[in-house]
């Protein structure tokens, strides 16, 4: 089908949904939102799928302002990939919202939420299809304001107001940085469309390119959660309604990634490999800082927000590696790194949306997000617990789920730094790889804590004891996302070729044959692969399923030189079969061994206690305390109050300590800036003496300085 028609239908239907939503009652708004937003999502899936899988492109004009500026749009495979994942996030969240929003009638206007929800969807699509500066900036501003209003939806809470204002302030600062970057690029271009800017960027000097690159990286980095411009993100994600938190993490965060790729990686192609190193290091630092704070967080939504910073850092690490490889002429390695980056972006959208929906369901049924107050709810919410477990395993990068594939590819991309000549760049790759490895280990710790402390053990509060399972309309979208996490984990050889079509223009080369050899399509007479190569992998089972399954094969493999024909190889498709067989063998063996044994159920021994009280069990804070102690140099907590209760004259009954932690970004970046502003303000205030003679002296001094400077100029 012609994508131009689908494009028009999407906008007409979305505009109609916004207008109709204004006249609905709050009682009908949740179902209306779920129905209309789901239809819009399906239309966008159809539109982006047609472009992504068939290669259709679209170019056109919205409105001509003048000869200099035309509001235009363009759809290619890169924008289609981002639209596809946006729709894939919006679809389950919209269905979930029909049940989740029913807690708001009588407290807040659901009509407002519905209108803003659709408007945000439209603005995201406009950003991803914008082909000129004006359309891009106008759409970005609408998106930022709409996000602010949705974060501040529960407007009567002081914390939400502060979070929304912080988000809006930093978003506007990022918007200004991006605008200035575009102005530098537009100088001498004679047009504001992206194609002209791409041609003009090759004429700019190194200084102008570096300045514009950093402005775009910082401006888009605000939305992507890049350290140090991410202070708003944990607060905003925690304050927003949980269904919208899923949109923030699964869709709008990707806009920052898209901006960096579209502008920094595509338009600014003549920049040296040093810019790639900057992205690489910034990404790996963001990943490590994000996961450190996620591990020690007790609030479930804030933990997931910090984890979004971590995963955004992993995405940018892969992107930075790709930029370095591309600018040094290693186009195959660049293509693989770009694929790893965008594959992780897709995976993060899926499992983080699932986890936020799970957190929202837990909060809805227990009225708390504190993992210290949960525990034991798996028996009461088994399906929610199962889907949350899938999301936790996926984000912890454990096979056979999707997080493993993209993180594994990211690691392998960093390990190819041996192909580079520059020693400092190799060191940067090594340090980034070490930080990424530490991040991966901490991610496992984080989500073991999240699942075990929330769902297992005994309930640690009355809130947890009264939990009940979510209704079917809220479990269904979670199950859909859990299934996608599994499918995108066990079938990477079907997903990589699709992503490759979007990344090939960036890396200047398709790398499908280098990463997914066509074992299902190989013959002994193949000129691209030697007989020995085919024979060896045939013996290992690489062609198992050849006559049953379509496609290239089920093995992800990077081919090297004749001396080292296989650099690395992996197959989660075969791994899951082996895992199922092993689990089945263990189950059967256990049943055979215990079949004739008599089982006696007795009361658990609890260290001599008659009953294990909730206060005696491990909490999320206790679980993460070793990490807090080891990395105390980063957290640097200050003890606000230290209370010691003495029992008798020799024993301490309790030590109560209240700690206040200042985020490392606030401590190293924000607080020094605020201190400088306050000092400047105090100096300026001290100048106001009220004496006319003093003011006359200020005027004379200023005049003398102007004359002196004028002489030199």
Q: Is the pLDDT of residue 676 over 60?
A: yes
> Tell me: the pLDDT tens digits for 151-170?
999 888 888 899 999 999 99
In the chain, the N- to C-terminal Cα span, in Å, equals: 64
Residue 297: closest CA among 309, 283, 315: 309
Per-residue pLDDT at 524: 55
Averaged pLDDT, 480-506: 94
706 Cα distance to chain centroid: 50
Q: Which of the 8 DSSP states describes residue 612?
A: -
Residue 634: closest CA among 684, 591, 668, 590: 668
CB 222 within 8 A of CB 230: yes
Per-residue pLDDT at 651: 54
DSSP per residue, 457-508: S---SHHHHT--PPPHHHHHHHHHHHHHHHHHHH-HHHHHHHHHHHHHHHHT
Between 555 and 343, the more confident residue is 343
Averaged pLDDT, 369-385: 91
- Mean pLDDT value across the chain: 87
Per DSSP, helices labelled H in 396-471 are: 402-415, 423-455, 462-465
SS3 content of the chain, % helix, strand, coil (to 5): 70, 5, 25
Backbone angles phi, psi at 72, to 5 degrees: -130, 165
Dihedral sign, CA of 139, 141, 144, 147? negative
Between 144 and 191, the more confident residue is 144
> Tell me: the pLDDT tens digits for 520-571?
876 655 556 667 777 777 767 777 777 788 878 888 888 766 666 677 888 8
Residues 6+ apart with CB under 8 A from 515: 335, 336, 339, 496, 500, 556, 557, 558
Per-residue pLDDT at 21: 87
Per-residue pLDDT at 115: 93
Per-residue pLDDT at 463: 87
Per-residue pLDDT at 382: 94
Q: Is the pLDDT of residue 50 over 80?
A: yes
> Tell me: the pLDDT tens digits for 121-141?
999 999 999 999 999 999 999
Neighbours of 411 (CB within 10 A): 19
| Tokens at 350, concatenated | 């899926």
Q: Is the pLDDT of residue 610 over 80?
A: no
Band of the pLDDT at 659, cuts 50, 70, 90?
A: low
Helices (H) and strands (E) in the chain, counts: 28, 6
Give the highest mean pLDDT range of 180-189, 207-216, 269-278: 207-216
Per-residue pLDDT at 523: 63
Per-residue pLDDT at 655: 59
Per-residue pLDDT at 561: 63
Dihedral sign, CA of 67, 73, 79, 83? positive
Q: Rounded to an integer, what distance in angstroms lies between the CA atom of residue 47 and that of residue 72?
A: 18
Neighbours of 536 (CB within 10 A): 13
Band of the pLDDT at 584, cuts 50, 70, 90?
A: very high
Q: Rounded to an integer, what distance in angstroms lies between the CA atom of residue 644 and that of residue 95?
A: 51
Residues recorded for the chain:
713
Q: Between the CA atoms of 455, 457, 460 and 466, what dihedral angle is there, to the nearest 10 degrees? A: 60
Per-residue pLDDT at 358: 94
Three-class SS state of 101:
helix
Band of the pLDDT at 95, cuts 50, 70, 90?
A: very high
Averaged pLDDT, 48-69: 84
Per-residue pLDDT at 599: 74
Three-class SS state of 660:
strand
What HEC string does 592-621 produce?
HHHCCCCCCCCCCCECCECCCCHHHCCCHH
Band of the pLDDT at 461, cuts 50, 70, 90?
A: confident
Per-residue pLDDT at 41: 95
CB 204 within 8 A of CB 185: yes
Q: What pTM did the predictor assign?
A: 0.90
CB 317 within 8 A of CB 344: no
Per-residue pLDDT at 258: 95
Residue 228: closest CA among 265, 282, 295, 296: 282
Per-residue pLDDT at 699: 86
The partner residues of 568 in beta bridges, in order of sequence, read 558
Q: Is the pLDDT of residue 614 over 90?
A: no
Band of the pLDDT at 642, cuts 50, 70, 90?
A: low
Per-residue pLDDT at 11: 94
Per-residue pLDDT at 597: 75
Between 711 and 403, the more confident residue is 403
> Tell me: the pLDDT tens digits for 290-336?
999 999 888 999 999 999 999 999 999 999 999 999 988 889 999 99
Per-residue pLDDT at 494: 93
Using alpha carbons only, give the angle 343, 345, 346 rounded to the nearest 5 degrees: 65
The partner residues of 558 in beta bridges, in order of sequence, read 568
Q: Rounded to an integer, what distance in angstroms lies between the CA atom of residue 354 and that of residue 388?
A: 7
Band of the pLDDT at 1, cuts 50, 70, 90?
A: low
What is the percentage of the chain residues whose pLDDT exceeds 70? 91
Q: For strands 556-559 and 638-647, give the pairing.
A: unpaired
Between 487 and 695, the more confident residue is 487
């Amino acid at each position: 089908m012609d994508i131009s028609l689908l494009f028009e239908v999407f906008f007409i239907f979305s505009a109609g949904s916004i207008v109709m939503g204004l006249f609905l009652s709050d009682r009908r708004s949740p179902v209306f939102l779920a129905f209309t937003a789901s239809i819009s999502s399906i239309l966008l899936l159809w539109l982006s799928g047609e472009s992504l899988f068939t290669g259709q492109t679209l170019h056109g004009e919205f409105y001509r302002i003048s000869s200099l500026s035309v509001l235009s749009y363009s759809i290619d495979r890169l924008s289609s990939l981002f639209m596809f994942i946006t729709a894939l996030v919006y679809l389950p969240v919209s269905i979930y919202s029909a049940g989740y929003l029913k807690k708001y009638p009588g407290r807040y206007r659901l009509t407002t939420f519905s209108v803003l929800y659709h408007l945000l969807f439209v603005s995201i699509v406009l950003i991803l299809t914008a082909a000129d500066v004006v359309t891009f900036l106008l759409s970005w501003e609408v998106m930022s304001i709409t996000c602010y209003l949705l974060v501040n939806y529960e407007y009567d809470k002081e914390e939400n107001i502060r979070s929304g204002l912080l988000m809006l302030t930093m978003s506007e600062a990022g918007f200004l940085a991006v605008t200035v970057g575009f102005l530098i690029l537009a100088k001498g271009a004679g047009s504001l469309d992206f194609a002209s800017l791409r041609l003009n960027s090759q004429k700019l000097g190194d200084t102008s390119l570096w300045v514009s690159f950093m402005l775009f990286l910082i401006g888009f980095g605000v939305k992507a959660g890049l350290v140090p411009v991410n202070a708003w993100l944990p607060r905003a994600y925690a304050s927003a309604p949980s269904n919208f938190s899923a949109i923030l993490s699964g869709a709008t965060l990707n806009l920052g990634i898209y901006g960096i790729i579209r502008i920094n990686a595509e338009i600014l192609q003549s920049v040296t490999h040093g810019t790639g190193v900057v992205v690489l290091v910034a990404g790996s630092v963001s990943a490590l800082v994000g996961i450190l704070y996620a591990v020690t967080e007790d609030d479930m939504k804030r933990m997931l927000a910090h984890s979004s910073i971590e995963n955004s850092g992993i995405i940018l690490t892969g992107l930075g590696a790709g930029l370095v490889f591309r600018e040094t002429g290693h186009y195959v390695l660049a293509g693989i790194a770009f694929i790893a980056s965008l594959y992780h972006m897709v995976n993060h959208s899926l499992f983080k949306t699932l986890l936020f929906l799970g957190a929202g369901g837990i909060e809805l049924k227990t009225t708390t997000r504190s993992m210290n107050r949960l525990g034991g709810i798996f028996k009461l919410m088994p399906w929610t617990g199962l889907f949350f477990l899938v999301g936790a395993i996926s984000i912890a990068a454990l096979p056979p789920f999707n997080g493993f594939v993209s993180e594994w590819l990211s690691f392998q991309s960093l390990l190819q730094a041996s192909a580079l000549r520059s020693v400092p760049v190799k060191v940067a790759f090594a340090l980034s790889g070490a930080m990424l490895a530490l991040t991966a280990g901490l991610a496992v710790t984080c989500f073991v804590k999240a699942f075990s402390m929330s769902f297992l053990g005994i309930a640690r509060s009355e809130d947890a004891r009264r939990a009940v399972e979510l209704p079917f309309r809220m479990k269904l979208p979670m199950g859909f996302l859990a299934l996608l996490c599994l499918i995108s984990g066990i079938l990477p050889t079907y997903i990589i070729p699709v992503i490759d079509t979007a990344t090939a223009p960036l890396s200047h080369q398709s790398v499908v044959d280098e990463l997914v050899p066509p074992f299902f399509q190989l013959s002994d007479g193949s000129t691209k692969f030697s007989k020995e190569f085919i024979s060896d992998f045939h013996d290992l089972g690489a062609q198992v399923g050849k006559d049953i399954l379509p496609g290239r094969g089920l093995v992800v493999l990077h081919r090297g030189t004749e001396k080292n024909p296989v650099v690395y190889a992996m197959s989660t498709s075969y791994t899951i079969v082996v895992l199922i067989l092993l689990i089945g063998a263990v189950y059967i063996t256990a049943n055979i061994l215990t079949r004739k044994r008599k089982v006696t159920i007795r009361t658990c021994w609890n260290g001599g206690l008659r009953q294990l009280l909730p206060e005696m069990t491990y909490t999320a804070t206790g679980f993460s305390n070793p990490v807090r102690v080891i990395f105390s140099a980063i957290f640097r907590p200050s003890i606000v109050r230290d209370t010691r209760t003495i029992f008798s004259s020799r024993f301490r009954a309790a030590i109560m300590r209240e700690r206040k932690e200042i985020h490392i970004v606030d401590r190293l970046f924000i607080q020094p800036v605020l201190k400088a502003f306050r000092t400047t303000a105090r100096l300026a205030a001290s100048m106001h003496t009220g004496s006319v003679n003093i003011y006359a002296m200020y005027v004379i001094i200023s005049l003398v300085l102007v004359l002196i400077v004028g002489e030199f100029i």
